[in-house]
Amino acid sequence: MVSYGKVVSTTVELLRKAETKLDEDVISAIRTAYENEDNEIARINLKNILKNLEIAERKNVPMCQDTGLPVFFVEIGRKVNLSFDLSNAIKEGVKIATEEIPLRPSTVHPLTRENSGDNTGIHMPVIDFEIVEGDSLKLTVIPKGAGSENVSILKMLLPEEVSKIPGIITEAVENAGGKPCPPVFVGVGIGSTFDGAAKLAKKALLRNVNGMNEFERKILERINSLNIGPMGLGGKTTALAVLVEIAHCHTASLPLAVNIQCWANRRATAVLR
């Protein structure tokens, strides 16, 4: 049986892993960009990113001072029997992780701006629950920094505006410029509802970046022709991947969300049985 304590400790370790070490597909994308870059300043910036990753992993410290907001995607198997409040267990893990790793306390009340001091608060951490088949509990965390989150967009398009989607995504990255610490990862949600598209866009960032399809690659080429480059100082690579998730939507609407992620596409997953 999955226990309260196990969820707490797993939450701590997931945050530690996500904050200190990137997945290999993400590191590989950054390394490939460095190898293919011929702009000297861009190469220096990419080299510094790779060096930063090496130091963070070796010293087991966060790779960025903005350790982000704790966002979780949780899949609960139908056969899992929980005798405790899963949200509270994850919340407790976030509190411990904030102190132990440590994480920068970045969670504040939206109106008073009072800081909770432990990255928890009203509806925080953000937790998305999904019931799936099976007897396991899958926890995934994607810490989200404000620099990239602040330049993300959501638009309610008209059905006849489908052809505008690639341009709108490209424009979002162009308007963001160097603010989200490029090269970026671009999560896109198309369809669903106003809030559903935003969730799809963030969830898209969890995908392996090597699995882009033709539609995604064409948008990536458009974005990289902008020459914004690493840290906004020019170069071939403005984005490392474009990842799109879709859902059916109302016949009269076309929701589109673009959730931009910095080069530190931090994520970690664990499965409890």
Answer for the pair 169, 242: CB distance below 8 angstroms, yes or no. yes
- Mean pLDDT, range 43-64, rounded to an integer: 98
What is the Cα–Cα distance from 261 to 206, expressed in whole angstroms? 11
Question: Treating both helix axes as pointing N-terminal to C-terminal, what angle do 4-20 and 86-100 enclose, rounded to 10 degrees?
Answer: 40
Spell out a b/e string for 145-170, using b for 16 or more CB atoms within 10 Å of the CB, else e. Answer: bebbbebbbbbebeeeeeeebbeebb
What is the Cα–Cα distance from 263 to 149, expressed in whole angstroms? 13
What is the Cα–Cα distance from 37 to 121, expressed in whole angstroms? 43
DSSP string, 63-79: SSS---B-EEEEEEETT
DSSP H helical ranges for the chain = 4-20, 24-36, 40-59, 86-100, 146-149, 165-176, 194-204, 214-224
Amino acid symbol at 139? L
- Mean pLDDT, range 72-93, rounded to an integer: 97
Mean of all residue pLDDT scores within the chain: 98
* Residue 74: per-residue pLDDT: 98
- Mean pLDDT, range 118-143, rounded to an integer: 98
pLDDT band at 1 (very low <50, low <70, confident <90, very high): confident
The residue ranges of every structural domain in the chain are 4-17+63-143, 146-261
Answer for the pair 141, 93: CB distance below 8 angstroms, yes or no. no
Per-residue model confidence as pLDDT tens digits over 182-219: 999 999 999 999 999 999 999 999 999 999 999 999 99
Q: Is the pLDDT of residue 256 over 90?
A: yes
How many CA atoms lie within 13 Å of 96's alpha carbon, on the beta-carbon side? 17
